[in-house]
Amino acid sequence: MRNSLLSLSVRWVACFASIFALAQSRDFGGDDFARLSPAQADKALMDFRDSRLAGDICLRIEITHKPRLGESSVPIKGILWAGFTEAGQQMRGEIFDAQGKPRLCFASTKGAKNSSVWISRGSQPATPSSEAQFAQPLAEGLLLSPFDLHLPFTHWGNTRYLATERSRGRPVHLYAALNPQSLEPNKVIFALDRTYGALVQAVCKNAKDETIRTLQVEEFSKVDEQWILGGCSVRDEATRDADILRVTEAAVGLKFPSEIFQPESLTKPAALPLNFKKL
């Protein structure tokens, strides 16, 4: 079952490394669009960072490049795993070529104390990725990168609350996160839904405070009574080209062995769960 963001009125789960988390209803009282107090703003951010799913999750995905002019690309297929440990939120991704062979694999960990991304290309041994490297596209012709899946900005230390505004008819809390590295994006403004605490948008800025890239959650889907991300888009604001990521199948309520997220495991495809369900 799929629902667009505009019509969704139940509990949400937004995926990716920082938003693979059961979104709990939050009641701040009063006007839905009222500005948060400093204490409320800090709590909303910490609740988002600390949120968890009831179990691990695995998604089959398709990524389609849609240029502003011309025809869309043939979808590129992949698989995402996500789980949680004491070290933080963990993700594994496998992106395949047209023959179904691994094109790129990555493993990431994101927590309050540390963050890391390891990348393997063409089944070669994984190497630690720099900020610049994991901002490179997952495949030739795409915009989407490991950065867009890892979403490191949700845990950047220099993050401050800006305002509560309306987005697609719903109240959202806006936070500005400054990049601790001297790289683009210099700043990311991300939006958390006021009621459910799910990330629904992220806008990347350059050093001139110009918008260079926008990630937008487009829809959610329900699997085994669990709401998960159904689709999102990443748009280059200069070219107006976009990538659309769509989840085609999902398996929820899982428990993965820790080895699946270890860098040394990226040279071989990971075992898949048996309980995939089509969205």
pLDDT (tens digit, 9 = 90+) per residue, 126-146?
A: 998 876 777 888 888 899 888
**Span 45-58, pLDDT tens digits:** 999 888 777 789 99
Sign, CA torsion 168/195/147/207: positive
Kindly list the domain boundaries of the chain, sorted by start residue: 2-272
DSSP 17-29: TTT-EE-------
State the CB neighbour count (10 A cutoff) for residue 29: 7
What is the CB-side half-sphere exposure of residue 218 using CA atoms within 13 A? 14
Q: Where are the alpha helices (DSSP H) in 107-238?
A: 146-150
Whole-angstrom distance, CA of residue 72 vs CA of residue 133: 26
The tokens for 115 are 């963050």
Separation CA 266–CA 85 (nearest Å):
19
pLDDT at 195: 82
What DSSP string runs through 115-145? EEEEEEETTPPPEEPPTTGGGS-SSTT----
Least trusted range by pLDDT, from 28-42, 62-76, 149-163:
28-42
Q: Specify the length of the chain in residues.
A: 279
Q: Pairing between strand 21-22 and 277-278? A: unpaired
Structure token digits, residue 62: 């398709």
**What gap in Å lies between CA 208 and CA 116, rounded to an integer?**
28
Q: Contact 275/248 with Cβ under 8 angstroms?
A: no
Q: Looking at domain 2-272, which of 3.90.1150.10, 3.40.50.1110, 3.30.70.100, 2.50.20.10 is its CATH number? A: 2.50.20.10
Task: Flag whether the pTM goes above 0.75.
Answer: yes
Q: What is the pLDDT of residues 207-252, one digit of tens each?
A: 999 999 999 988 878 888 777 888 899 999 999 999 999 999 999 9
Report the alpha-carbon distance of residue 177 to residue 84 in Å, rounded: 23
Structural tokens at position 214:
């926008």
